């Protein structure tokens, strides 16, 4: 069994648990909102939805990159890796803009329990996106400098990075549903 | 094999590096050295945590004592608990797994040697960070489980709890990384012939335990992250005064905390499952049942957490559910005790120091387990939780259990690690002093709790009987001090001039004994063939090889 | 507390727990003795010595495994059934019943408000003998725990989460209790006493507690009363008949009638009261009560005043 894929699978198991705990806290305080801003009053699911599409698209580009890698088409791999990083970075940019907008309206992390759990949950997700982008950028760099050779070990590692990236996107599906969609239902 | 660049910068870690001295250790990615470093670090923190225990016992020796101020006492007992759990037991067990598992599966090293090194150093960093708090305004003082809202800034003014959060985050990351490494190692690097059903039980328990770590430590990390945001960014997740929930912290913490206690005992079970059969001269009784009961414990450990919250007032239905699951988890544990005991029968028992500690474990852990069952009976918990009876319970399982198993493991594997035998005569003294000191310290805490003494009190009123029981306990703590000093002396002396160990001083059966003591950097020159659970036994007794005997009755 | 309070019940609730506990203790001893015997016998009989038989290479016995799995399971089922009965007996339902007493845990003292009569006191709770009283248990700050072992179970006082506790004593007497959840520096000295009295005495006590003490006008006591007003004591403590109405610290209206000071850190004597007022930390280190740097004369006067508050 390939080591890197198993390792990343186990890591995802542990991270899924971590996110689950943060989601539970968000849901718990959604039921006991207290006063102040709520998801429905300050979030913009439409806009965030658009940025989310970019993130989901980056999963698709990552899939294509993996496909090109397996076909040993390393230049194409590089192109699609760069596309993935670009799309992911745009998602993070959107998140930064959202945070800035909220902060301007006085919705800081300690404003109320909605704000705390919202920023904690989406913030840690953003951190995981960022780490994923760093990893993909490293692979892209290796690809650009011609160091990819297609060995079994290398393929294992490449796929592991891809799996991590898809996990990060899957987590966003859940977070987007629980935080943004649930607010407008 | 090709791989990444041949430039020398990114390449296979070279375990056969010719560097010598301290730098070799610091830069090492060899699992044997990393395992030993984990164990040395744990030993250092054991001394510190033990010193903290002595301070506690001195303060509690007589009523109305003024040896420690209340706040100092609170810092000391918080650090004692946090140290023993996160900086002693977990790293010690991790270190023993990291050392022994690759050898027991016939591998050269773990799957990710550099990740292995990172896990160790982040653990050490976490420990240093935790202790730095003493000179940075005060150590954490809200108990090792930092209940909210006592742990919130309004009630816990120094930075101590913040250091606690940060240190535990580091330790959690290290543990998770180590667990991932262990699972991948065991799944992918086993020597040919060693199927899952032929795994040595220490390896099996490490495997199951690693899954526990992966599932439980993130729960702690989630809680820690929110407490950190409360403390540093003025949020109120756990502050009832501002709409937060004190109970949410408890659910989260014990959601981690209960599996955590099994994380601290499963590898100990693994050690016992190796030591008892070897020194009885026969295979473990009921291998399948011991292995299966481990999995049962792992699953059940996620269903019992709120038995730590019976006195919180969450309603009878809640209490009955968790009482039920807590009783259920006693059953697979009992199965193990019976299997270890049955292994002794019709054996040929060699009372080495390692074996004596293992036998002591069976008896002492049973006692701790039984008081645990009494706590599963909720109304009894309603009287005795948060008293010294509880302190007795968890010390019986963690010291009488895990610590005794660790000593058994050290006496067992020290020869392999160092090439020298630990002195058996001193070992015997160590054992008896430990057993006597331990029971003197903790047994009388059972009646003390029944008499009404709450835990975590810096002093107590001069009620009849309280002082004498506390005083005896303090004396016991000093007997334990003597036993630990003796142990350290044994180690130091044996390293210098202990008898040469040879490859297999115990006539044991698992693969680590098929190489030199200590093993070469690549672990094995040649791995013996594996056709059963006891490869070296099978080699020595080809006519009575295990699986043949089993199949042929 | 005499003997072993958890085994010395003075209420039906505490008794039901105590009986179950004794039964469980017997089971525990039996199992422990069994395991210890099994191990000891094995060591003695199968010790490696000259002429001992070779170790028997056996692997297990499924039937035995099932037996020692089923046996404990059955035992635990029996225990569970008895436990359910004890849960109901020791923690009777509260539905629809009105609490008579509100107990609020503070760092580090217990506030007791009698909801029907209006009595307000601290750390010393009186109840009539033989009748169950329903307590509404709350916390003003961190988690505390109310525990009087001779009378029943313990239960946490959780901020933001109200709990209820039945309390009852079958015999008149003074029952010792303690806070049983770590709550900070003076957790050790957050004790309380429950005084169970015959109904008539209890009614008399309530009447006395509701009486407004006469305002001291002469001598040292009058000086003390003035110090109470001027030294900001009045900002934290309430005394009926004065301008002091705050509940930050314990209500002092009938301080002189109580048996203990500082939630059990000292007995309530004039000498201890003097020590406490002169330097609270000498009795209860790191307590929230500040040291007002009173002179000896001022302290004497204050003690004289407080001693009139019977």
The arithmetic mean of pLDDT across residues C120-132, rounded, is 96
Number of continuous H segments (helices) and E segments (strands) in chain C: 7, 12
Residues B372-392: tens digit of each pLDDT: 999 999 999 999 999 999 999
Q: Is B111 on the interface with A (CB under 8 A)?
A: yes
Decide: helix, strand or coil at residue C109: strand
Across A5-11, average pLDDT: 97
Residue A60 maps to a domain:
yes
> Would residue A70 count as lying in a domain?
yes
Equal fold, C101-208 vs C219-307: yes
Using the predicted structure, report yes or no on whether residue B2 has a pLDDT greater than 50: no
Contact assessment for residue B98 and residue B31, using Cβ atoms and an 8 Å cutoff: yes
> How far is the C-alpha of C216 from the C-alpha of C302, rounded, in Å?
11
Please choose, from the candidates A98, A93, A114, A148, the residue with its C-alpha nearest in 3D space to the C-alpha of residue A36: A114
Question: Between chains, do B285 and C186 touch, taking CB under 8 Å as contact?
Answer: no
Tell me if chain A has a CB within 8 Å of the CB of B212.
no
Which of B1, B115, B237, B263 to probe by mutation at the A interface, max A CB count within 10 Å?
B237
- Packing angle, helices B31-60 and B90-104, rounded to 10: 150
In 3D, which of B89, B124, B116 has the Cα closest to residue B34? B116
pLDDT beyond 80 at B18: no
User: Which of B2, B180, B219 minimises the CB distance to A11?
Assistant: B180
Closest CA to C252 of C141, C115, C111, C108: C111
Residue B240 has its nearest CB partner, among C53, C56, C159, at: C159
Name C66's bridge partners. Answer: none
Residue B111 pLDDT:
97
| pLDDT, average across residues C76-84 | 97
The domain spans of chain C are: 5-46+61-90, 101-208, 219-307
- Give a yes or no: residue A36 inside a domain: no
Nearest Cβ partner for C52 among B324, B348, B383: B348
List, for residues B146-174, the tens digit of each pLDDT value: 999 999 999 999 999 999 999 999 999 99
Q: How far is B227 from chain A (nearest CA, A)?
A: 11
* B334-378 residue pLDDT tens: 999 999 999 999 999 999 999 999 999 999 999 999 999 999 999
Task: Tell me the count of A-B CB pairs closer than 8 A.
Answer: 95
**Which has the minimum average pLDDT: A32-46, A157-171, B169-183?**
A32-46
Mean pLDDT across chain B: 94
Give residue B112's pLDDT.
Answer: 97
CA distance B534 to chain C (A): 12
Listed in sequence order, the residues at least 6 apart from A156 whose beta carbon sits closer than 8 Å to its beta carbon are A2, A3, A4, A5
For chain B, the distance separating the N- and C-terminal CA atoms, rounded to the nearest angstrom, is 46
CB–CB contact B459 C264 (8 Å) = no
Q: What is the pLDDT of residue B11?
A: 39
Nearest CA in chain A to B235: A110
Residue C29 has pLDDT above 50, yes or no: yes
Q: Which of B288, B383, B450 is most worth mutating to test chain C (most C CB atoms within 10 A of its CB)?
A: B383
ipTM for the whole complex: 0.96
**Residue C165: closest C-alpha in chain B:** B313
Helix axes B466-497, B404-418, angle to 10 degrees: 10
Residue B137 has pLDDT above 90, yes or no: yes
In a domain, residue A39? The reply is no
* Residue of C110, C178, C108 whose CA lies nearest to C138: C110
- CATH topology classification for C101-208: Immunoglobulin-like (2.60.40)
pTM: 0.95
Burial of B290 (0-12, 13-18, 19+ CB in 10 A): buried
pLDDT at position A73? 92
Beta bridge partners of B420: B500
Higher pLDDT, B6 or B79: B79
Mean pLDDT value across residues C282-305: 94
Residue A150 lies in a domain: yes
Q: Which of C205, C227, C201, C203 is nearest to C216 (CA)?
A: C227
In this structure, the dihedral spanned by the alpha carbons of residues B265, B266, B267 and B271, taken in order and rounded to 10 degrees, is 90
Task: State mean pLDDT over B27-46.
Answer: 97
CA atoms within 13 A on the CB side of A128: 23
Strand ranges for B301-354 from DSSP E: none
Beta-carbon separation of A14 and B218 below 8 A: yes
Min Cα separation C221/chain B (Å):
32
Residue B388 CA to residue B446 CA, distance in Å, equals 6
Nearest to B155 by CA among C186, C82, C101: C186
| Beta carbons of A142 and A65 less than 8 angstroms apart | no
Tokens representing B159?
Answer: 């930075």
Name, in order, each residue with C-beta under 8 angstroms of B321's C-beta and a sequence gap of 6 or more. Answer: none
Question: Which is higher by pLDDT, A37 or B6?
Answer: A37
CB C150 within 8 A of CB C177: no
Give yes or no for residue B3 having a pLDDT over 80: no
Strands C124-128 and C191-197: parallel
Q: Chain A contacts of B252, Cβ < 8 Å?
A: 21
Q: Is residue A38 part of a domain?
A: no
Residue C1 scores a pLDDT above 80:
no
pLDDT tens-digit readout, B80-99 = 999 999 999 999 999 999 99
Chain B environment of C264 (Cβ under 8 Å): 461
**Is B246 near chain A, with CB under 8 Å?**
no
Which pair of tokens denotes residue B320? 């009955």
Is the residue at A37 inside a domain? no
Fold category of C219-307 in CATH: Immunoglobulin-like (2.60.40)
How large a percentage of chain B has pLDDT more than 70?
A: 95
Distance between A19 CA and the closest CA of chain B, angstroms = 8
Please report, rounded to a whole number, the percentage of residues in chain C having pLDDT higher than 70. Answer: 99
A29 CB neighbours in chain B (<8 A) are 237
Q: Measured between beta carbons, which residues in chain C are less than 8 angstroms from residue B70?
A: 185-186, 188, 285-286
Whole-number average pLDDT of chain C: 94
The two tokens of residue C6 are 């958890």
pLDDT digits (tens, 9 = 90+) for B413-453: 999 999 999 999 999 999 999 999 999 999 999 999 999 99
B245, B319, B366 ranked by CB distance to C160: nearest: B245
Question: Could you list the residue range(s) of the whole structural domain that residue A149 is in?
Answer: 3-31+44-184
Residues B40 and C150: their CA atoms lie apart, in Å, by: 48
Quick: pLDDT tens for B468-480: 999 999 999 999 9
- Per-residue pLDDT at B553 exceeds 80: no
Dump pLDDT digits (tens) for C193-240.
999 999 999 999 999 999 999 887 888 999 999 999 888 899 999 999
Residue B553 neighbours by CB under 8 Å, 6+ apart: none
Q: What is the three-class DSSP state of C120?
A: strand
What whole-number percentage of chain B has pLDDT above 90? 93
Asked if residue A157 belongs to a domain, the reply is yes
CATH code, domain with A27: 1.20.120.80
Residue of C nearest to B335 (CA): C69
What is d(CA B67, CA B65) in angstroms, rounded to the nearest whole number?
A: 6
């Amino acid at each position: 069994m390939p080591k890197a894929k198993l390792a990343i699978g186990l890591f995802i198991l542990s991270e899924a648990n971590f996110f689950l705990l943060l989601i539970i806290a968000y849901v718990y305080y959604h039921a006991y909102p207290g006063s102040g801003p709520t998801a429905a009053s300050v979030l913009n699911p439409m806009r965030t939805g658009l940025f989310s599409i970019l993130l989901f698209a980056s999963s698709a580009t990552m899939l294509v990159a993996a496909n090109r890698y397996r076909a040993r088409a390393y230049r194409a791999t590089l192109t699609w890796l760069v596309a993935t990083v670009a799309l992911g970075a745009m998602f993070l940019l959107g998140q930064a803009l959202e945070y800035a907008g909220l902060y301007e309206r006085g919705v800081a992390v300690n404003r109320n329990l909605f704000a705390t759990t919202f920023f904690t949950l989406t913030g840690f997700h953003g951190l995981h996106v960022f780490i994923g982008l760093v990893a993909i950028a490293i692979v892209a760099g290796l690809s650009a400098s011609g160091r990819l050779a297609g060995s079994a070990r290398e393929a294992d590692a490449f796929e592991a990075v891809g799996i991590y990236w898809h996990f990060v996107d899957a987590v966003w599906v859940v977070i987007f549903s629980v935080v943004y969609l649930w607010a407008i239902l | 094999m090709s791989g990444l660049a041949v430039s020398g910068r990114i390449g296979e870690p070279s375990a056969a590096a010719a560097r010598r001295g301290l730098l070799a250790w610091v830069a090492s990615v060899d699992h044997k050295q990393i395992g030993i470093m984990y164990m040395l670090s744990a030993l250092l923190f054991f001394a510190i945590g033990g010193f903290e225990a002595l301070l506690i016992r001195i303060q509690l020796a007589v009523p109305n004592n003024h040896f420690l101020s209340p706040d100092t006492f609170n810092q000391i007992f918080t650090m004692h608990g946090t140290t023993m759990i996160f900086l002693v037991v977990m790293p010690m067990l991790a270190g023993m797994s990291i050392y022994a598992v690759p050898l027991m599966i016939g591998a050269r090293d773990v799957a990710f040697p550099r990740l292995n090194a990172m896990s160790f150093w982040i653990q050490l960093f976490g420990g240093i960070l935790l202790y730095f708090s003493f000179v940075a305004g005060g150590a954490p003082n809200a108990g090792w489980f930092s209940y909210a809202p006592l742990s919130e800034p309004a009630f816990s003014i120094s930075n101590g709890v913040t250091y606690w959060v940060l240190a535990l985050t580091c330790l959690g990351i290290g543990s998770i990384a180590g667990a991932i490494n262990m699972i991948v190692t065991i799944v992918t690097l086993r020597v040919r012939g060693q199927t899952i059903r032929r795994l040595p039980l220490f390896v099996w328990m490490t495997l199951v335990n690693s899954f526990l770590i992966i599932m439980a430590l993130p729960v702690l990390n989630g809680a820690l992250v929110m407490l950190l945001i409360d403390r540093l960014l003025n949020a109120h997740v756990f502050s009832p005064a501002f709409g937060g929930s004190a109970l949410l912290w408890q659910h989260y913490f014990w959601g981690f905390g209960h599996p955590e206690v099994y994380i601290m005992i499963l590898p100990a079970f693994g050690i016992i499952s190796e030591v008892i059969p070897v020194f009885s001269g026969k295979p473990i009784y009921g291998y399948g049942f011991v292995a299966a009961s481990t999995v049962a414990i792992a699953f059940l450990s996620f269903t019992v957490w709120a038995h730590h919250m019976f006195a919180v007032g969450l309603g009878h239905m809640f209490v009955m559910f968790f009482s039920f699951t807590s009783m259920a988890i006693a059953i697979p544990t009992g199965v193990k005790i019976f299997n270890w005991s049955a292994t002794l029968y019709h054996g040929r028992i060699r009372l080495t120091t390692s074996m004596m500690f293992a036998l002591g474990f069976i008896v002492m852990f049973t006692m701790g387990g039984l008081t645990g069952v009494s706590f599963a009976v909720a109304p009894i918990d309603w009287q005795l939780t948060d008293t010294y009876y509880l302190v007795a319970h968890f010390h019986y399982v963690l010291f009488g259990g895990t610590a005794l198993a660790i000593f058994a493991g050290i006496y067992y594997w020290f020869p392999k690690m160092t090439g020298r035998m630990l002195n058996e005569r001193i070992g015997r003294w160590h054992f008896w002093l430990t057993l006597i000191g331990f029971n003197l310290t903790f047994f009388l805490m059972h009646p003390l709790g029944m008499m009404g003494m709450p835990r975590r009190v810096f002093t107590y009123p001069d009620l009849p009987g309280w002082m004498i029981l506390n005083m005896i306990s303090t004396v016991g703590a000093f007997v334990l001090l003597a036993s630990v000093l003796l142990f350290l002396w044994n180690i130091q002396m044996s390293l210098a001039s202990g008898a040469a160990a040879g490859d297999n001083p115990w006539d044991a059966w698992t693969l680590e004994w098929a190489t030199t003591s200590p093993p070469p950097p690549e672990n094995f020159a040649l791995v013996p063939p594996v056709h059963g659970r006891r490869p070296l036994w099978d080699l020595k007794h080809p006519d009575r090889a295990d699986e043949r005997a089993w199949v042929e009755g | 507390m005499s003997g072993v309070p958890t085994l010395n019940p003075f209420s039906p609730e505490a008794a039901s727990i105590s009986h179950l506990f004794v039964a469980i203790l017997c089971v525990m001893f039996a199992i422990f003795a069994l395991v210890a015997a099994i191990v000891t016998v094995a060591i003695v009989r199968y010790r490696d010595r000259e002429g001992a038989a070779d170790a028997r290479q056996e692997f297990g016995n499924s039937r035995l495994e099932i037996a020692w799995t089923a046996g404990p399971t059955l035992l635990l089922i029996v225990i569970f059934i008895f436990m359910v009965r004890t849960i109901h007996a020791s923690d009777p339902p509260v539905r629809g019943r009105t609490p008579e007493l509100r107990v609020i845990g503070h760092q580090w003292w217990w506030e007791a408000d009698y909801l029907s009569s209006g009595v307000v006191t601290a750390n010393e709770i009186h109840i009539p003998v033989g009748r169950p009283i329903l307590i509404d248990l709350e916390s003003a700050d961190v988690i505390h725990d109310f525990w009087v072992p001779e009378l029943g179970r313990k239960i946490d006082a959780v901020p933001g989460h109200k709990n209820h506790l039945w309390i009852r004593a079958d015999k008149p007497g003074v029952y010792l209790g303690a806070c049983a959840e770590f709550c900070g520096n003076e957790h050790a000295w957050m004790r309380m006493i429950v005084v169970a009295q015959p109904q008539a005495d209890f009614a008399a006590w309530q009447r006395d507690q509701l009486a407004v003490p006469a305002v001291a006008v002469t001598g040292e006591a009058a000086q003390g009363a003035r110090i109470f007003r001027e030294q900001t004591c009045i900002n934290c403590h309430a005394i009926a008949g004065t301008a002091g109405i705050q509940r930050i610290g314990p209500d002092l209206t009938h301080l002189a009638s109580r048996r203990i000071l500082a939630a059990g850190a000292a007995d309530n004597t004039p000498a201890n009261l003097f020590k406490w007022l002169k330097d609270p930390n000498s009795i209860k280190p790191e307590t929230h009560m500040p040291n007002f740097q009173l002179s000896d004369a001022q302290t004497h006067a204050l003690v004289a005043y407080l001693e009139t508050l019977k």
